[in-house]
Structure 1
Amino acid sequence: MQKQRVVFVHGAGSFGAAAWPRQHGMALAYDALFLRRHGFDPAAEPVESDVARDISIVIGAIADNPAGGHVVAHAEGAISAMLAAMARPDLVRSLTLVEPACLSLTAELPATAAYRALMEPLFNVRHQLNDDDYQRDYVRRAFSTEPGGLDTPEARRTARRLRLQAPPWEAPLHIVPGVPTLVLTGGWEPLYEEIAGYLQETGALRRVAAGGHRPQDSLEGDRIIRSFLADVSRSLSAQAS
């Protein structure tokens, strides 16, 4: 029997398989693809983010499978994942959204409004700042920590990619009825809990696992993702039989 496809969509940091270290083994049970969003390349110079290109990458990764596929996405990657599901709900079998940066869903809610008020002035001047200054200010504002130095070519490319990402509150998102959805958060940041609460109220399964902004890297977070996909897969198989 053909394996069900699962595509993994990374956020603004590491990409491809490197963004999903605990999920590599899922290739034993699924046809797993670890995507690279537009502008993320191990050698090429970063370019401006392009959500339309990201949507095409996600849809292309599942469209060549007759049964469609599941989409697992982290942070900013959840934006293109949701938009792909909105465009092709016939192909997306489920959505797993990890710490989703889907701010346009909760634009009027307090934590989202406060985050945008904090970050928008920085986004507005991102093309006037160098990569080092932008990354330093971004990390301080978003995570209240200090970033590492830009002492390697990859660190410099990572900082440039960060500066070239579009504001997450601009995407025209809405809920996709009929697509089973899991939202997983790390329980550390009111912004993501607010987004998760909204998604839960609109039908998503909501879970929390320790791990900060990357709960998928924890044993519990990985177990939650695998359990959800297994449950949806069994349901789909039962419907097809």
Structure 2
Amino acid sequence: MAQQRIVFVHGNGSFGAAAWRGQHALARSYDCLFLRRHGYHPDLPPAPTSHRTDTDSVLAALGDGGHVVAHAEGAICAMMAAVEQPGRVFSLTLCEPAVFSLTRDLPATAAHRSLLEPLFRRAPHLSDDEFAQEHRRLVFLPETRPAGEADAKAAARRRMQAPPWDAPLEIVPGVPTLVLTGGWEPLYEEVAAFLESTGAEHIAAGGNHRPQDSPEGQDAIRAFLGGCRGSAAA
């Protein structure tokens, strides 16, 4: 019997298989594909956010169907793919999803927007390094900083990312969804509570902004995928 597919979609920072070090063992039981989002190819120049390109990449990687596991901004195209083709998405696992357009007017998200919107407006007038430094000052988490964040390509990529609260998102109909959070930041707990109100399961697994790396998060992902094996949205 063929293995079911899992498509992994990274957030900002590390990308491809490097973004999912806690999930590599799933390749023993699943056909795992670790995507690189638009603008993240190591041999090409950075490029601005393209939700359309990323969504098409997720759908192409799914083939006839599979599971999608996404982190932070990667959850945007994961959800967009599930809205467009719910029958091909067996399940969604969203780790600290930055789907702030769904919660843009709720208190924690609104405060986050007010903090960062001036920086995004100034982005065209800042150098890559100036933008990256200011972004780190406002939201930087020491435990999650990728090793290459200081290099020129990473700084350019950071400045080109679109504000996640402007993404064209809708609620996903009928797809089993698990939301993992680190239990450390009200912003992501607010998003998780909203998604839970629409039918998602929510687990606070520790691990700060990378709950998929904690033992509890790894176990939760494995158990959730196992419970969804062979199922797809009606």
2:184 counterpart SS class: coil
What is aligned with 1:225? 221
> Stretches of 4+ moved more than 4 A in 1?
144-150
Q: Is 42-51 or 190-199 further displaced after alignment?
A: 42-51
The structure showing larger relative contact order (alpha-carbon pairs under 8 Å, at least 6 residues apart) is: 2
TM, length-normalised to structure 1: 0.91
Q: How many angstroms does 1:43 deviate by?
A: 2.3
Cα pair 1:74 1:100 within 8 Å, conserved: yes
Counterparts of residues 60-139 of structure 1 (less than 5 Å): 60-63=60-63, 66=64, 68-139=65-136
Cα pair 2:14 2:146 within 8 Å, conserved: no
Gaps of 5+ in 1: none
What is aligned with 1:156? 152
The residue type paired with residue 7 of structure 2 is V
Cα pair 1:71 1:92 within 8 Å, conserved: yes
Q: How many angstroms does 1:143 deviate by?
A: 3.1
Cα pair 1:140 1:146 within 8 Å, conserved: no
Q: How many angstroms does 1:147 deviate by?
A: 10
Q: How much identity, in percent, do the aligned residues show?
A: 55
Cα pair 1:9 1:74 within 8 Å, conserved: yes
Matched, 1:214 2:207: no
TM, length-normalised to structure 2: 0.94
Q: Is 105-114 or 125-134 further displaced after alignment?
A: 125-134
Q: How many angstroms does 1:159 deviate by?
A: 1.4
Matched, 1:165 2:165: no
Cα pair 1:9 1:34 within 8 Å, conserved: yes
Cα pair 2:7 2:61 within 8 Å, conserved: yes
Cα pair 1:74 1:97 within 8 Å, conserved: yes
Instruction: Give the paired residue count.
Output: 233
Gaps of 5+ in 2: none
What is aligned with 1:3? 3
Q: How many angstroms does 1:91 deviate by?
A: 0.7
Q: 1:160 to 1:204 in 2, by over 3 A?
A: same
CA-based RMSD of the aligned residues comes to: 2.2
Q: 1:153 to 1:103 in 2, by over 3 A?
A: closer
The residue type paired with residue 99 of structure 1 is E
